[in-house]
Every structure is written in structure tokens, then in C-alpha cells.
Structure 1
Amino acid sequence: MKIKLIAFLLFFNCINAFASEVDTLMVESKSMNKFIPNIVILPDNYTTQQNGFSVVYLLHGAGGDYTDWLTKAPELRAYADTYNMIIVCPDGGSTSWYLDSPVDPNIKYETYISKELIDNIDKKYNTLKKSSARAITGLSMGGHGAFYLSFRHQDIWGAAGSMSGGLDFRPFPNNWDLHKRLGNYSEHKNNWEENTVMNMVYLLKGDNLKLILDCGFDDFFYDGNKRFHEKLLERNIPHDYIERPGKHNWNYWPNSLKYQLLFFNDFFESSNSD
């Protein structure tokens, strides 16, 4: 962990020499009784623009942390400038699944992201404090987390995305500490059924939440993404869906990010044009 932190600091100092501004914001989570780090990327004109900025929340996957996106997709800084938006990369714990766990009282990442982090970002930075100026997306566990949080908090986010998301984790009862977050499937089936985003489509109404999702053909989550897309079609929920060659890796996700940030920028411009 120490070696990884040193490597990130060296990388951070290097990229900080040009474009945008990068903050590391420590946020106190009273719900979990700890401080949590988050990267905040500000566009070049942040200090000169008086109007508030739209914000994209970008979630990491299982086994990752808040540094993943910026270290593995450093073009994030250029995107913040190009689209004149703030990008926030929270730390969601290694395998939190961005839930308030029904079996572990120490895991309350839904509360953290949707309440504590949002409040801190809106207090510290010049943001547009409305759902039409907020979007959330992520990869793998973070893709599930982005849909999970946005479906349950449509008053907070107006658009959401998923990249190779674990949109139905029920076929994977022994993976990614899911049993620690939800209990064993055989004993706590209801927890699994109630917390998989596959079963939350009923929360959506029309196009009140703008959605984009994509997944590679060779991804182990491809089947779940395809079924999720078909479920949205059955319920007449508008969305953008992309499937293309690709696996569950960092060769795929930076390309996904490119399309999703364009999607969010279009949403922000159309929703906040006045």
C-alpha cells in the first residue's frame, strides 16, 4: 500500500505540471466513523468562471480505489477542460458495492456517496446544486454502484452510466466479497434480490433519468448487461446501449469513458441551457 501511494504521488506531481487542477479531498463519513479520500478534478477556468459547474461522479471497481481512474486514464484531466465540468473520483472501499450493507453496519457507502460526499462537494466547490447538473458512472462494481445509487436517488442525479457493470451479481455468490455485504445467498436470498440493480428497473419512470451502458462481448458481465438492456426495452425506458469487442480490463474502459462523458456533456448542455 505504501509503495502504491508513493507511486501515485509521483504520478500526481508529474501530471499536475499541466492542465486542470487536481485536489485530494478528505471527507468525514460520520456514518462510518472515518475519513475517506476523493480525487476532485477541476477544469482550467474553474477560478475565473462565475457560473456553477456540472459534476460527474466516477466510481472505481472491486479491488480498486479512488486513484484508479486518474492513474490509468490520465486523459480525465483533458476531459474536465474540454467539457468544462468537475469530475469526482470517490473511494468506495475495495468491495463495498456502494451499498449500505444489511449485514455489516460498518459498510454504509450508499449513505456516504449520496449524502455525505455530495454535501461536501457542493459546499466546497462552485457546483450547480441540482440533479440536472449531476451524473454518475463507473466500471464493474462501480457500474452497478452508479445505477444502484442513481435509481434510488433520482432527486440527486439526472444521468447515470455503467461500464462493464455487474448489473446482476446473483450468478456470482462467491465473488468479490458479496457474501460479506449481503450474507450467504442460501441464507439471505432476499438481500441479494433486493440489492441487485437488475431488480430495480421498476424504480424508473420514462426518461426522468438519462441512462447509458456498455459492455464488451468477451466480458463475464456481458450476459447480465444484455439482459438489463432487454429489460429496459420491455419497460420502454429510453437509454443508450453499446456492445462491442472487449474484455473486462483497462484496455476497454478508457474508450467507454470517452463516450459516456460526451453523453453526460450533451445532457448537461440540454438540461441547463438557460
Structure 2
Amino acid sequence: MARLSALAAALWFAAASAVAAGEVHVDRKAPSPALGTDLPYSIYLPSGQPAGTRFPVVYLLHGFGAGQREWLKGGRLEETLDRMIGAGEIAPLIAVMPDAGKSWYVDSARFNGPGDYETAITRDLVAEIDARYPTLAGPAHRGIAGISMGGHGALRLAFAHPQVFSAVAALSPGIWRPGGMSEATGPAVDPPEMQEKWFPRTTGETFDIGMFNRQSPFAHVGDLAEMEHPPAILLAVGDDDYWKLHDGTVELYIELRRAGLRPELRVDNGGHDWKYWRRVSPDALSFLAGRIAPE
């Protein structure tokens, strides 16, 4: 009898896992008038759900120089979402991972830079995903997250486009507060050759710290304070971050609090790598899922 019970349990678990498993596509492309070409993306789609079901969507942004597969390879996203959805920790959702190169997720075509990626993602990609897949359209069911450069991008896209996203999670975001402690380790003090390497034509023909600061998430804090429904915000960073991004992350948290907002902050042991991000990404996904899930 015990052997039969164990067999039944094993069969049930296998069946549950099969239902929970999602499917990943890495070769998709979204037409993007903003870029003048297609925008590549990867996508995770939940499976085993009733016909006609529509899902909330999270957009996951990669780090500097990476691409649409980073969250899948380094982050093991498929395995993580299969486990979390299968265990009932989060409701089924769609995850979209665009390829934005070294763009810092800003519009830079006017500088002959990487391209207008801010518009490409917030307008063109979102429209394509809503048209092509069974999404719950609207900001209430859309979240965004990112690592490093992608953390910077997730914050500024969520802050500047609350009509698109209602929740954001930034893991080790590349942010530096103008005039703050973090500025001393940021691009403002880097030699010109390093500025050009890390921010290639994203702020001008040459690096422009004034433009960079205007593009920063810090520049939008005042606007957030005036919003009736500002996005939900989670900040997470390792205390051993190689780039010392814990400084800017904590400064943003304090600045948001001073503005009357209620961000959440996680500072944990860890560096600036996927070993840390894999550990904290389930918390970030749970944070987002809890705020964009259907009622």
C-alpha cells in the first residue's frame, strides 16, 4: 500500500510539473518603427492553462552588452518560473526579454547612438506582445525588471511611462545620484575613454553628464510623488557589488522615501553577478506577480 501511495504521489508530481512547465521561444522579432528594424526578443509562455486564459506580463531587461537570452541562461528563468508557477507561488504569467545591446534603454538615434530603445520597448514591443499573445493588456497587469544596466532601464521606463507599467523591480541597478555619495564612483568621474566605452553615444556625440543625469531615474522622483498611482518599486542589491552600486541603490530608496513613496529595499550578501541575481530574482518575480496578477 505504501509503495502504491508513493507511486501515486510520484505520478501526481510528474503530471503537475508537466502542466506547470512553460514554453520558451528565443527567435521572435517585433517590428519597431522606432528602430527602423525588428527588435529581437525571447518569451516565456505558460502552458497547461484553460483555453481563453489571459496573462499578466513582465518585461525583463538584460545587462550591458548582453541580450535576449541572458535571463534564460544566467538567470535560469524557465526553470524558476516553472517551479514558482507549478508550486502556486505566483499566478501564471508571460515573461518578455528584449535585446537592447548597450543602449541603456534610452532614445539615442539623434546622437547616432544605438537607437531609440526607450520608444521601441514601451511602444512597439508592448503593442506587438499585446497583439500577438494572450495578455491582460493595460498597465495594471504589466511589470518590468532588470539587472545592472537593465535595472537602470527598468526604473526609468517604469518611472517615465506609468501608463505602460505599474510595478518595477531593479536588481543591482546602474544608478548614481547626482551630488550623492554614489557619484564618486560613477561615470561623472570616469575618464573620457571609459565614458565612451560604457555609454556609447547614449547621451550625445560624446558623453554628456548633464544629459545622463536627466535620463537618470533620480530625475523622475519628483514626478512620481505627484502621481495618484505611482508604480510599486522594489530595489535589490548585493553588499559586495563590484561597481559599488549599493550606494546609488540605497540613495534612491532614501530619496523615494523622502518624496513620500513606499519602495521596498533588499540589501543582501552578494556581488554583481548571476550568483546573486539568481538568488534574489524569485523574490523580484514574486513582488511583480503579486502586483500585476488578475484580481
| 1:33 to 2:36 alignment | yes
Matches within 5 A, 1:76-87: 76-79=78-81, 81-82=85-86, 83=90, 84-87=92-95
| 2:251 aligns with one of 227, 234, 238 | 227
2:211 matches 1:191:
yes
CA distance in 2, matches of 1:268, 1:191: 32
How far off its partner does 1:133 sit? 0.4
Task: Give ranges in structure 1 of 5+ residues lacking alignment.
Answer: 1-17
Residue matched to 2:71? 69
- How big is the alpha-carbon RMSD for the aligned residues of Structure 1 and Structure 2? 2.1
1:8 corresponds in structure 2 to none
The alignment status of 1:218 with 2:240, answered yes or no, reads yes
Letter in 2 for 1:100: D
Output the CA distance in 1 between the equivalents of 2:40 and 2:94. 16
**Larger C-alpha radius of gyration, 1 or 2?**
2
User: In structure 2, what residue type is equivalent to 1:39?
Assistant: S
The one of 165, 181, 187 aligned to 2:202: 181
- 2: CA distance between counterparts of 1:75 and 1:197? 26
Which residue of structure 2 lines up, in the alignment, with residue 254 of structure 1? 278
- Once residues 77 and 114 of structure 2 are traced to their aligned partners in structure 1, the CA distance between those partners, rounded to angstroms, is 34
Normalising to structure 1: TM-score of the pair? 0.85
Q: Is the 8 A contact 1:52 1:128 kept in 2?
A: yes
Q: Which structure dedicates a bigger proportion of its chain to helix?
A: 2
How far, CA to CA, are the matches of 2:292 and 2:220 in structure 1?
25
* Counterpart residue type for residue 36 of structure 2: N
* Count of residue correspondences: 251
Q: Which residue of 2 aligns with 1:167?
A: 175
Q: How far apart are 1:77 and its partner, in Å?
A: 4.2
TM-score, length of structure 2 as denominator length: 0.79
- What does 1:1-274 align with in structure 2 at a 5 Å threshold? 19-24=21-26, 25-46=28-49, 48-79=50-81, 81-82=85-86, 83=90, 84-93=92-101, 95-101=102-108, 103-104=111-112, 107-168=115-176, 171-172=186-187, 173=190, 174-175=194-195, 176-183=197-204, 184-185=206-207, 188-205=208-225, 208-219=230-241, 220=243, 221-269=245-293, 272-273=294-295
Query: Partners in 1 of 2:115 and 2:211 — Cα distance?
Result: 14
What CA distance in whole angstroms lies between the structure 2 residues aligned with 1:265 and 1:168?
Answer: 28
Task: Identify unmatched segments of 5+ residues in structure 2.
Answer: 1-19, 178-182
Distance 2:285 2:248 in 1: 23
Identity of aligned residues (%): 28
Letter in 1 for 2:104: W
Query: Deviations along 1:97-130, whole A, 9 cap, x unmatched?
Result: 0000252365100011000000000000000011
Q: Tell me how far apart the structure 2 counterparts of residues 142 and 230 of structure 1 sit (CA, whole Å).
A: 21
Shift in Å, 1:34: 1.7
Matched residue type, 1:64: A
Q: For the residues of structure 1 that align with 2:79 and 2:44, how far apart are their CA atoms?
A: 7
Please identify runs of 4+ aligned residues in structure 1 that moved more than 4 A. Answer: none
How far did residue 236 of structure 1 move? 1.4
Shift of 1:180: 1.9
Give the AA of the match of 1:99. V
**Separation in structure 2 between the aligned mates of residue 33 and residue 106 of structure 1, nearest angstrom:** 12
Q: How much has 1:78 moved relative to structure 2?
A: 4.2
d(CA) in 2 for partners of 1:42 and 1:251?
25
Alignment deviations for residues 52-74 of structure 1 (CA, whole Å, 9 cap, x no partner): 10000000000211011101222
